[in-house]
């Protein structure tokens, strides 16, 4: 069977060799996080706004990804792509659109782009909760989610949003 995007691995390798905007942003105006119940990966995103021509637009964004290389690559590209966009414009971007520079993602990697989409959307509209079902037991001390959530709330309130199965 012919691969739809034979350059994907190389493009991902290039993106993660020099990831853009990786790390926490102390001065962020908004932060969002999302976890996938399917693979256990998580992405967190920080966004800073500015006024431009009377409009509130994204000045810059940063991310942390506890996940696969595709998620890291998409997050890196997404933080560049959304600069200068309004909240509505950035919110409307799908995972596939955020991953545009990688080319089409294969079916098993589509959720990696959706994870970035979810983290961005939860930062931009922190009241959106699609599925509050916990990824792992909240009583499981020392889990990745616990440390992720507690470090997120240490700086600013963060709403964890979990993707629905099959989204
Ligand atoms: Fe889950 Fe990529 S395999 S985010």
State the pLDDT confidence band at 155, using cuts at 50, 70 and 90: very low
Q: Which CATH class is domain 6-148?
A: alpha beta
Residues shown for the chain? 167
State the pLDDT confidence band at 18, using cuts at 50, 70 and 90: very high
Q: Is the CB of 21 under 6 A from ligand 1?
A: no
What's this model's pTM, rounded to 2 decimal places? 0.78
Q: Residue 144: is its pLDDT beyond 80?
A: no
State which ligand 1 atom lies nearest to the alpha carbon of 38.
Answer: 1
For 88-143, how does the pLDDT look when each residue is reduced to its tens digit (9 = 90+)? 999 999 999 999 999 999 999 999 999 999 999 999 986 544 544 444 333 334 44
State which ligand 1 atom lies nearest to the alpha carbon of 65.
Answer: 4
Catalytic: which of 22, 39, 57, 144? Answer: 39
For 26-57, how does the pLDDT look when each residue is reduced to its tens digit (9 = 90+)? 999 999 999 998 899 999 999 999 999 999 99
Q: Is the CB of 62 under 6 A from ligand 1?
A: no
For the record, the structure tokens of 158 come out as 């963060």
């Amino acid at each position: 069977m012919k691969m739809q995007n034979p350059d994907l691995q190389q493009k991902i390798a290039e993106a993660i060799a020099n990831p853009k905007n990786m790390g926490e942003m102390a001065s962020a105006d908004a932060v969002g996080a999302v976890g996938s119940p399917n693979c256990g990966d998580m992405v967190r995103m920080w966004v800073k706004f500015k006024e431009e021509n009377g409009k509130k637009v994204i000045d810059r964004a940063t991310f942390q990804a506890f996940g696969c290389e595709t998620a890291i690559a998409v997050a890196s590209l997404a933080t560049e792509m959304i600069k200068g966009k309004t909240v509505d414009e950035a919110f409307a971007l799908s995972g596939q659109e955020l991953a545009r520079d990688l080319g089409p993602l294969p079916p098993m990697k589509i959720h990696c782009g959706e994870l970035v989409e979810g983290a961005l959307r939860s930062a931009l509209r922190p009241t959106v909760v699609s599925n509050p079902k916990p990824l792992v037991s909240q009583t499981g001390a020392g889990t990745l989610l616990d440390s992720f959530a507690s470090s997120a709330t240490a700086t600013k309130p963060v709403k964890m949003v979990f993707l629905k199965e099959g989204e």
